[in-house]
Amino acid sequence: MKIIITERIAQAGIDLLKQKFDVDIRFGIDRIELLDIIENYHGIIVRSVTKIDEELLEKAKNLKVVGRAGNGIDNIDLDAATRKGVMVVNTPESNTVSAAEHTIGMLLASIRNIPQANQWIKSGKWERNIFKGNELNGKTAGIVGLGRIGGLVAARLQAFNMKVIAYDPYISDERFAFLGVEKKQKLEDLLKEADIITVHTPKTEETMGMIGEKELDMVKDGVRLVNVARGGIIDEKALYNALKKGKIASAAIDVFEKEPCPDNPLFESDNVLVTPHLGASTVEAQNNVGTTVATQVINVLEGKIAANAVNMPSVHDRELEVLKPYLVLAEKLGKVYYQLEKKPISKVELKYKGGLAEQKTGPLTLAYLKGLLEPVMKERVNYVNAKLLAKDRGIEVVESVDNTSGQYTNLIEVAVHNGTSTFTMAGTLFGKEEPRIVKLNGYEIDVEPRPYMLLSKYIDKPGVIGRMGTILGIEQINIATMQASRNVKGGKALMVLTVDSEVPSKTINKIKEADGIDNVTFVKL
């Protein structure tokens, strides 16, 4: 497989990729040239300049993964990538410490007038009184966005003996309590109370301009502002006006609505400290970003789930280790339906029981849908586009969890509704991560899903199982395992066999003609 890298990443990341794949390093490649050659690549790694839009994705016939060396994905058309089944991965945690430390550095430099004093003394002057600053001790810090970086900033500000409050409607009360941070239900409550305000939210439609003229009118006189998150979260025009009025004592800004921006009016203000988007610019962060994005891309191209996939549910590495065997199980469960039934599906219900109820089950649902749709779709089906393809086919997907599991520690239960009937299955893991199908359409079984399987409904009477075995023997089909299950003696029963090779259709027809066999289906997993 081939990978193209269009923007600079750490050499350590490039070396990782070269161990596995053919790597083209084309820093700063021209857009037109990239469009001409992108069909030759299975992966592309970018930073913030290369545009991964619908035009490029249309031409990228073999592209499986886009790696973003960094956190934001403003330059990537996520919807178009998802429709094409292209996984987008990034590195959200690789530069968190650097960004948090830069926030603290910007804040301290701003409130103690360090840049101004540095320039003053280097110019041959010596004054102290004109650079009088403020302490952090005893002040109230307001954090907008208590995610990874916001949490690190909170811990560091608490070390200065600050009271820390935060606003983030998407973070649980438990995380606030764990961090020792007071939760504010409304942004305006934080703005009115904080002596220092720092923002750490992603760039979304909701957050762009969230601190504008109206919000800046609410803040305390003499408040200090810091933005090392994304340009535009604090409206630059409103900030400029508030600074001119003296409402805001100082602002420390690392990110801007437009970058680069040498003529930004904010640069005119002596009480504005600016840096050129340096939040992640440390040796440690860049090495982490490079090796992390390389690892993510390698995982995707090797058919694994990437922990930091943007266009599918994200899971941390340790969560992924727990889920891996269940992902295999869920996909195998999905592959069964369309091989046994031909009716279109209206709804799929997935219930995760026992210990699985405590895990992130989103990837398991994607794995099931991938297995379900692959046998009947011409398009490439993967973890990225499986849910979208199900929706396009009118399939409603319902997920639920149940802490109880009965006789199994963990259980995945599936109910597929097709308008006239409901198909049911359940699976679990035995021993050392061994997948098992334990229920099928009301029958209790214990079958390890193998690549080649025969499923048969038959009449529970002497000789039927023997006839099945005899026919397969004559046809040179070796039986690996056999499981029979009945609910009523003498009624219809279910037989599941795993075999060592594919079963030709002529052999299937011979089995169907045997006395007592109701039906038989060959299933490939």
Tokens of 446: 């214990």
DSSP string, 354-419: EGGGGS--HHHHHHHHHHHHGGG-SS---TTTHHHHHHHTT-EEEEEEES--TT-SEEEEEEEE-S
Share of the chain above pLDDT 90, in %: 73
Average pLDDT estimate for 376-390: 78
Task: Identify whether 115 is preceded by a cis peptide bond (ω within 30 of 0).
Answer: no
**Taking 80 as the threshold, does the pLDDT of residue 492 lie above it?**
yes
Q: What is the pTM of this model?
A: 0.62
pLDDT of res. 52: 96
Beta bridge partners of 402: 353
> Quick one: pLDDT at residue 315?
67
Inter-residue contact 465 to 484 (CB < 8 Å): yes
As a whole number, mean pLDDT of residues 461-474 equals 92
Span between the terminal Cα atoms of the chain, in Å: 26
Report pLDDT digits (tens) over 95-141.
899 999 999 999 999 999 999 999 999 999 998 889 999 999 999 99
Output the pLDDT for position 358. 87
pLDDT value for 508: 93
Q: List the structure tokens of 442.
A: 């009301």
How far is residue 392's CA from residue 380's CA, in Å, rounded to a whole number?
14
Most confident of 152-166, 201-215, 380-394: 152-166
Catalytic annotation, residues:
230, 259, 277
Q: Which residue bears the tokens 């061994």?
A: 434
Choice among 160-164, 306-310, 428-432 with the minimum mean pLDDT: 306-310
Print burial letters for 93-106: b (CB count within 10 Å at least 16), e (below 16): bbbbbbbbbbbbbb
Q: How many CA atoms lie within 13 A of 147 on its CB side?
A: 13
pLDDT value at position 174? 82
- Band of the pLDDT at 194, cuts 50, 70, 90? very high
To the nearest whole percent, how much of the chain has pLDDT over 70?
98
Give me the helix-helix angle, 464-474 and 505-513, nearest 10°: 150
Q: Strand, coil or helix: what is 519?
A: strand
Q: What pLDDT, in 10s, does the model give residues 78-88?
A: 889 988 889 99
Lowest-pLDDT choice from 303-312, 329-338, 355-364, 412-421: 303-312
Sign of CA dihedral 524, 413, 317, 4: positive
- Give pLDDT, residue 378: 59
In this predicted structure, what is the pLDDT of residue 145? 93
Residue whose token pair is 């969560």: 319
The predicted structure's pLDDT at residue 405: 67
Q: How many CB atoms lie within 10 A of CB 74?
A: 11
Answer yes or no: are the C-beta atoms of 503 and 321 closer than 8 Å.
Answer: no
pLDDT on residue 316:
66
Q: List, in order, residues 6 or more apart from 256 with CB less than 8 Å away.
A: 231, 232, 236, 264, 277
Residue 72, pLDDT above cutoff 80 = no
The full set of domains in the chain, from first to last, is 2-94+285-311 (3.40.50.720), 96-274 (3.40.50.720), 314-449 (3.30.1330.90), 451-525 (3.30.70.260)
Look at the alpha carbons of 354, 359, 360, 365 in this order and tell me if their dihedral is positive or negative.
negative
What integer pLDDT is reported at residue 185 of this predicted model? Answer: 94
